Chain A
Amino acid sequence: MEIFSNLALGFSIALTPFTLMLAVIGCFLGTIIGALPGLGPSNGVAILIPITFSMGLDATAALVLLTSVYYGAMYGGRISSILLNIPGDEPAMMTTLDGYPMAKQGRAGDALVISGVASFVGAFLATIALAMVAPYLARIAYKFGPAEYFALYTLAFATLGGMASKNQAKAALASFIGLAIALVGLDNNSGFNRFTGGNLHLSDGIDFLVAIVGLFAVSEVFFFIETHGKDSAVGVKLGKVTIPWAEMWSTRWTMIRSSVVGFVAGVLPGAGASLGSFMTYMMEKGIAGDKGGFGTGVAKGVAAPEAGNNAAAGGALVPMLTLGVPGSGTTAVLLAVLMTLNITPGPTLFADRPEVVWGLIASLLIANVVLLLMNVPMVKVFVKILMVPPAVLLPAVTMISFVGIYSLSGSYFDLVLMIIFGVVGYAFRKMDIPTVPVILGILLGYQMENNLRHAMTLSGGEWTYLFSSPIAIGLWIAAVLGFVAPMFLRGLLKRPEIRDADELVD
């Protein structure tokens, strides 16, 4: 089997002592980041990107570190959901529904262990599925020309925008703002400066890392100043942690079903982990019926969303690696990681840089095992760290963001730009304008334009060329549906009301 030789290649890269050490550090940091309210997978990975590059790690090492943080944050999100009723990040929101009632009954330890194992099952199965599905999708992606890519990018914006906000116009506006920012700077094809207003700093364009750190991390500080960190974790108590074997075994089918559904939700562009955990929770609630007692603190109620959101995190890597199109905010950040490493995701990645792809997949499997070991016996350590007061945490996050961006460019200009993005991020989130499409626009704008120009040059300026192949037409139809359908589904899929501590989309 091809997959075994590929995985063997991956493990030969990922199993060196140095990369293993990075995986352990990444998992540890990631779990903390996920657990802390106000920090989630997307802003946690975002503030670490610039620092990782300043350390001069090679591509594989940097990827291992940052994806370990990503997976770790997906695990960690459940800790504050269960103990505080505050989701550490948005995908962990559904875990509060049964996790917090369990904690109130004095069964916080059980909830943490079961959800930890569910996270492991979800993430592990999804990583295997990723290893099996991605190469096939990569083969299909070879058939994509510039017209198909342009349609695909449109699809990514449409579905992400459709999901991200209650108001479609705001989601669309966010995408266009992102694209408009991406076009600032020197146009490589014609050699003209665009929209720089004569500012030399701007002719290199606006670095997407500056935008990501500003929108995701710096804006968080403003929220905490506004609320004076009311959502902080003070006085959390956790008794002795034992492993409830029998109860865990009773959730086995829940975990497996949720992993499958979560993975599929993750693969769909724009859906991501939040939808994965939502769908799996609702599905299991439906299967269990009224006797299941969902919402009162049952094991299946924490197992389903945790398996679902971790499986979705793995599934979201499929479109990101094979097509270069991220399915969620966090994978958009991971795409930024790849782009900074000069790795272009897409079908050619599997042929040209197999060591990167398979090294990444192998390190995800390793990270999962590390995370299971860390999150079940050592969960008390993370609970201690949860008690860091926000008056220490948020200044630290800000200073790390500044040092990261500063060490990339060494100029105050990027720092000021980052602060502006922070203010904009705060205002946008207040106004329910999603920030993830802005990031996606900045990341994809250049390639989107290039594909359009390339397509038009090939066709001699004939716009119908964009709709000339079956794949392209299919993508366009999916884009329209993905953007329009949520308007009608919104009434049907009413989310249960939860106190929103953190509105960052995963």
Chain B
Amino acid sequence: MIRTDRVFGVVVILAALAYIASAYNLPQGSMFDKLGPKAFPIIVGAGALISAAFLVLRPDDEPDWPPVPTLLALAFATLVLVAYAYALKPMGFIVPTAIAAGVLSYQITPKPLSAVLVGIGLSVGLFVIFKYALGLSLFAFPRALMG
């Protein structure tokens, strides 16, 4: 039976091997730095490798992953957040924040009207707090529009 712990363990083992290989290419230590930049990363990589091997050999019970529709909803939330991260600079604060906050709010409690209100309310409210009460440098709208 395929288990989450096994899959994750194998992924970590591969990553740890790549990590160790990458550390091997670093230079040796010198008189003033006996160990050099490669030794500790190799120790850490080996440690991760061994712990991951335990996961593969003795996996725990399967975690209760949510059903596929919920996983898709989580993936969508992640996409929205990434889009928000990219939009924040070019588009200013207000519009992207309202959209992102509204989407998350709708995903937690699916009521369209309240989600819209939460999005707009949070966006404007937080902007006022951050900009005027805390003095952070934020731009409300795209800088091109603000002149």
Question: A residues touching B (Cβ–Cβ < 8 Å)?
Answer: 51, 54-56, 166-167, 169-170, 172-173, 175-177, 179-180, 183, 187, 189-190, 192, 194-195, 218, 221-222, 224-226, 228-229, 389-392, 394-396, 398-400, 402-403, 406-407, 410, 412, 415-416, 419, 422-423, 426, 430-432, 445, 448-449, 452-453, 456-457, 460-461
Known: A173-B48, A194-B26. A183 touches B33 (CB 8 A): no
Known: A176-B51, A190-B36. A396 touches B109 (CB 8 A): no
* Further pairs besides A225-B74, A456-B34: 13, Cβ < 8 Å: A170-B55, A173-B51, A175-B47, A177-B12, A180-B16, A392-B118, A394-B104, A395-B105, A398-B104, A407-B136, A415-B88, A430-B64, A457-B35
B111 cross-chain contacts in A, Cβ below 8 A = 391
Question: Min CB distance, A434 to chain B, in Å?
Answer: 12
Contact A55 B136 (CB under 8 A): yes
A194 cross-chain contacts in B, Cβ below 8 A = 22-23, 26, 37, 41
Alpha-carbon gap, A183 to B137, bound state (A): 32
Contact B136 A403 (CB under 8 A): yes
Taking CB atoms and an 8 Å cut-off, the chain B residues in 2-61 that contact chain A are: 4-5, 8, 12, 16, 19, 22-23, 26-27, 29, 32-37, 39-41, 44-45, 47-48, 51-52, 54-55, 58, 60
Contact A412 B85 (CB under 8 A): yes
B137 cross-chain contacts in A, Cβ below 8 A = 407
Closest 5 CB pairs of A and B: A415-B85, A169-B54, A173-B51, A391-B109, A176-B48
B37 cross-chain contacts in A, Cβ below 8 A = 187, 189-190, 192, 194
Contact B85 A391 (CB under 8 A): no
Known: A180-B19, A402-B85. A55 touches B135 (CB 8 A): yes
Contact B85 A183 (CB under 8 A): no
Residue of B nearest to A450 (CB): B40
B48 cross-chain contacts in A, Cβ below 8 A = 173, 176-177, 180
Alpha-carbon gap, A124 to B62, bound state (A): 44
Q: Contact partner of A172 among B36, B51, B114, B135, CB < 8 A?
A: B51
Question: B residues touching A (Cβ–Cβ < 8 Å)?
Answer: 4-5, 8, 12, 16, 19, 22-23, 26-27, 29, 32-37, 39-41, 44-45, 47-48, 51-52, 54-55, 58, 60, 63-66, 70, 73-74, 77-78, 81-82, 84-86, 88-89, 93, 97, 100-102, 104-111, 114-115, 118-119, 122-123, 126, 130, 134-138
Contact B88 A453 (CB under 8 A): no
Contact A396 B101 (CB under 8 A): yes
A190 cross-chain contacts in B, Cβ below 8 A = 26-27, 33, 36-37
Residue of B nearest to A407 (CB): B136
Known: A398-B81, A415-B85, A432-B60. A391 touches B47 (CB 8 A): no
Contact A183 B134 (CB under 8 A): no
Alpha-carbon gap, A213 to B104, bound state (A): 17
Question: Min CB distance, B112 to chain A, in Å?
Answer: 12
B40 cross-chain contacts in A, Cβ below 8 A = 183, 448-449, 452-453
Can you list 23 A-B contacts with CB-CB less than 8 angstroms, sorted by A residue number?
A169-B58, A170-B51, A176-B44, A183-B44, A189-B37, A221-B104, A228-B110, A390-B108, A391-B106, A391-B111, A395-B100, A395-B105, A398-B101, A402-B88, A403-B126, A403-B130, A407-B137, A415-B84, A416-B85, A419-B78, A431-B5, A431-B8, A456-B29
Question: Min CB distance, A37 to chain B, in Å?
Answer: 13
Alpha-carbon gap, A218 to B100, bound state (A): 13
A461 cross-chain contacts in B, Cβ below 8 A = 34-35
Residue of A nearest to B60 (CB): A167
Alpha-carbon gap, A194 to B48, bound state (A): 17
A54 cross-chain contacts in B, Cβ below 8 A = 134, 136
Contact A221 B118 (CB under 8 A): no
Of A169, A395, A449, A461, the most chain B CB neighbours within 10 A belong to A395
Contact A226 B12 (CB under 8 A): no
Contact A416 B109 (CB under 8 A): no
Q: Contact partner of B12 among A173, A192, A195, A415, CB < 8 A?
A: A173
Contact B77 A221 (CB under 8 A): yes
Question: Min CB distance, A204 to chain B, in Å?
Answer: 16
B29 cross-chain contacts in A, Cβ below 8 A = 453, 456
Question: Min CB distance, A135 to chain B, in Å?
Answer: 33
